[in-house]
């Protein structure tokens, strides 16, 4: 149950801290007083889209907090525990909207995603908008209402899973079938391409190493010539080699070391340098001696690299990726070779999923037909009470011929109504007038809501277009609906307001800075009489009007 709503700097609401109770509560007030902003705040806190336009002018942010008692919401309590968001028996939801339009959501003071907030909210509050009768014409909405009433939501979810599994297997089967039509030509092409790639000795293929070998052989003459010159400079020239000169310098400094110890240390460094020079010279000599001009090997590398570059252009890849291309082709060839077996396997899988689907869809259809009759009977009885004495409501559940499965089953579901005796039932949009459609919508919402476990239900002017004695019946239905749950209703009808356990009055005032602000107050008994009298109409509220209002209030609340 919703215990409290706190609003700060949201549109026309400066600050509001409102405690709520169980049973039926109504919100009334002059048109434009701000009743809708209260519902906007609730919707925002429950996960609806945020907008910087919600923020009160001159303020940095808007904030809405709502608190719930979870005694009557075990599913929500379990969800909080599963998601490590539980906090004893109460649940605090908070939403903050910033100037840039971004928002933050919190559950029990812990930040959560908008998806998590919406998942929790759906188990706590259900809002019926004032334009619900328009969505009633939508076939998907009709199907969802019937499934909700029939408690087949889990059955539909299971059917959806079966449908998606069948669809996935069927798509793969169709893809392989299409591929198999050109299988022979494709296999021949892949075998030819693999034969080409096998020229490269793929098990020992190393493009970088081949490129380096070719580069070395192509420049071997320059390497040998320049290498021999450096051998002379480093070691072979007895008079002027670097090794000889370093040796001489080292010996000279050794002799001078008897006069200055520091020179001896330098001589040691030069001696180590000579050792390094001699070792480098020997490695260079061994390298030069091992090199051999081999025009035949160079030609082989030229041809091999030419083949590699041609194949890389052909397959539109880097030379180093050719082994990967070969593996891909081999895998595809293997798939094609065994595709006939896979096609047969998938065809069998499709038949099994389709059989499973038909069994579940048929069972779901039977349940829908049975529950559809029950729903139609209840709604027919209620629309008669709501001023359509000859009205008959039907839920037509028509199983379609088994062809291609669909996501939500095999049924074509349509609401039909006959508003006058002797006329055959027809779809709502072809028979019902605006006022009749509002009554039918209200009857459906009240009927389907009575079987739901949502602890808090909010109705936003769903009684529009209704008046007189019918309005009183609407109020009675909502009061009955509030037994065991919390019902809040925004209304302009005194007949509905008089039925409520609590009465909330929304008013608008202009502050000293000329900014408008809305407030909500709980009305006491005498205040309720005044407000219901105002709702009854008239330029001047007379004693008779007040007496009428008091009579309505006593009649609507006999236990008060």
Query: Which pLDDT band, with edges at 50, 70 and 90, does 560 fall under?
Result: low
Interstrand relation of 90-98 and 23-28 (parallel, antiparallel or unpaired): unpaired
* pLDDT tens per residue across span 251-303: 888 888 888 888 888 888 888 988 898 898 889 888 888 887 778 877 877 88
Higher pLDDT, 341 or 4: 4
Question: Residue 370 pLDDT more than 70?
Answer: yes
Q: Is the Cα dihedral 305, 307, 309, 311 positive or negative?
A: negative
Residues of 102-135 as b/e, b for ≥16 C-beta within 10 angstroms?
Answer: ebebbbbeeebeeebbeebbebbbbbbebebbee
What SS3 state is found at 414? strand
pLDDT number for residue 452: 67
Tell me if 536 sits within 8 A of 494, measured CB to CB: yes
Query: Sorting pLDDT into bands at 50, 70 and 90, what band is 6?
Result: very high
**Span 342-367, mean pLDDT?**
91
pLDDT in tens, 435-464: 677 778 778 877 777 666 788 888 887 777
The DSSP result for 30-83, as a single string, is: STTSSHHHHHHHHHHHTTPPP-GGGBPTT-SEEEEEEEEE-TT-HHHHHHHHHT
| Confidence check: pLDDT of 326 > 90 | no
pLDDT beyond 60 at 221: yes
In this predicted structure, the answer to whether residue 131 has a pLDDT above a threshold of 80 is no
What does the pLDDT average to over 104-131?
Answer: 86
Average pLDDT, the chain: 84
Q: Are 428 and 416 in contact (CB under 8 A)?
A: yes
SS3 string, 477-525, reads HHHHHCCCCEEEEECCCHHHHCCCCEEEEEEEEECCCCCEEEEEEECCH
- How much is the pTM? 0.62
Q: How far apart are CA 399 and CA 405, in angstroms?
A: 12
pLDDT at 246 over 80: yes
pLDDT digits (tens, 9 = 90+) for 474-516: 888 888 888 888 999 888 889 999 999 999 998 887 665 566 7
**Residue pLDDT, tens place only, 335-349:** 777 767 778 888 899
Q: Which of 61-70, 176-185, 305-314 is the least confident region?
A: 176-185
| Rounded average pLDDT over 92-114 | 91
pLDDT band at residue 132, thresholds of 50, 70 and 90?
A: low
The model's pLDDT over 35-63, given as tens digits with 9 standing for 90+, comes to: 777 888 888 998 888 888 888 888 889 99
Query: Is 131:442 a contact under the CB 8 Å cutoff?
Result: no
For 4, the 3-state DSSP assignment is strand
DSSP state of 540: S
Taking only the tens place, the pLDDT of each residue in 375-429 is 999 999 888 888 888 888 999 999 887 667 888 899 999 999 887 777 788 887 7
User: What burial letters (b/e) apply to 426-436, b meaning 16+ CB within 10 Å?
Assistant: eebeebbeebb
Residue-level pLDDT at 542: 85
139 close to 427: Cβ distance less than 8 angstroms: no
Q: 134 falls in which pLDDT band (50, 70, 90)?
A: low
**Closest alpha carbon to 488 in 476, 498, 500, 477:** 500
Beta strands 103-107 and 110-112 are antiparallel
Percent of the chain with pLDDT over 70: 93
Q: For residues 236-266, b (16+ Cβ closer than 10 Å) or e, as one string?
A: eeeeebbbbebbebbeebbeebeeeeeeeeb
Rounded to whole angstroms, the Cα distance separating 266 from 9 reads 83
Tell the residue number behind the tokens 């945020």, with chain if given. Answer: 50
pLDDT recorded at residue 265? 85
**Residue 133: what pLDDT?**
53
* Percent of the chain topping pLDDT 90: 23
**Of the given ranges (131-135, 351-355, 359-363), which has the lowest mean pLDDT?**
131-135
Coil, helix or strand at residue 348:
helix
More confident residue, 34 or 9: 9
Q: What is the mean pLDDT of residues 6-35?
A: 87
């Amino acid at each position: 149950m919703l215990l409290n709503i706190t609003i700060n700097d949201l549109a026309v609401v400066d600050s509001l801290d409102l405690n709520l109770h169980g049973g039926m509560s109504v919100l009334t007030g002059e048109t434009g007083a701000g009743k809708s902003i209260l519902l906007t705040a609730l919707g925002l806190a429950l996960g609806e889209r945020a907008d910087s336009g919600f923020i009160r002018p001159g303020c940095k942010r808007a904030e809405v907090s709502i608190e719930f008692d979870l005694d009557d919401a075990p599913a929500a309590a379990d969800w909080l525990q599963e998601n490590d968001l539980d906090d004893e028996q109460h649940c605090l939801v908070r939403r903050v909207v910033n100037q840039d339009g971004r928002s933050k959501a919190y559950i029990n003071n812990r930040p959560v995603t908008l998806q998590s907030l919406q998942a929790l909210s759906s188990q706590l509050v259900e809002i019926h908008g004032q334009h619900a009768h328009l969505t009633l014409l939508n076939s998907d909405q009709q199907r969802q209402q019937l499934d909700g009433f029939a408690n087949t939501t889990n059955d539909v979810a299971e059917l959806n899973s079966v449908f998606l599994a069948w669809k996935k297997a069927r798509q793969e089967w169709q893809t392989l079938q299409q591929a198999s039509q050109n299988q022979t030509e494709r296999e021949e092409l892949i075998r030819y391409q693999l034969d080409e790639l096998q020229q490269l000795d793929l098990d020992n293929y190393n493009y970088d190493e081949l490129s380096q070998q070719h580069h070395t052989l192509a420049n071997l003459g320059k390497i040998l010539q320049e290498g021999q010159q450096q051998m002379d400079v480093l070691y072979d020239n007895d008079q002027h080699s670097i090794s000889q000169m370093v040796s001489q310098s080292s010996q000279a400094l050794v002799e001078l070391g008897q006069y200055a110890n520091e020179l001896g240390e330098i001589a040691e460094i030069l001696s180590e340098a000579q050792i390094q020079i001699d070792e480098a010279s020997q490695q260079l000599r061994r390298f030069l001696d091992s090199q051999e001009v081999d025009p035949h090997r160079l030609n082989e590398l030229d041809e091999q690299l030419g083949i590699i570059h041609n194949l890389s252009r052909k397959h539109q890849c880097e030379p180093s990726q050719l082994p990967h291309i070969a593996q891909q082709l081999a895998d595809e060839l293997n798939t094609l070779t065994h595709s006939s077996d896979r096609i047969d396997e998938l065809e069998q899988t499709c038949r099994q999923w389709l059989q499973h689907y038909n069994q579940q869809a048929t069972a779901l259809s039977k349940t829908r037909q049975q529950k559809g009759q029950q729903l139609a009977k209840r709604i027919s009885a209620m629309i008669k009470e709501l001023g359509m004495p000859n009205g008959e409501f039907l839920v037509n559940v028509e199983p379609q011929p088994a062809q291609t499965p669909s996501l939500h089953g095999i049924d074509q579901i349509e609401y039909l109504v006959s508003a006058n005796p002797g006329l055959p039932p027809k779809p709502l949009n072809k028979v019902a007038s605006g006022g009749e459609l509002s009554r039918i919508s209200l009857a459906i919402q009240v009927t389907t809501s009575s079987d739901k476990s949502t602890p808090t239900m909010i109705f936003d002017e769903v009684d529009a277009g209704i008046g007189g004695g019918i309005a009183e019946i609407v109020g009675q239905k909502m009061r009955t609906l509030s037994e065991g749950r919390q019902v809040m209703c925004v209304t302009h009808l005194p007949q509905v307001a008089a039925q409520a356990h609590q009465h909330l009055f929304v008013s608008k005032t202009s502050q000293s800075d000329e900014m408008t602000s809305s407030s909500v107050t709980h009305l006491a008994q005498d205040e309720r009489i005044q407000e219901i009298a105002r709702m009854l109409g008239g330029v001047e509220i007379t004693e008779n009007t007040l007496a009428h209002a008091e009579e309505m209030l006593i009649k609507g609340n006999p236990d008060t």
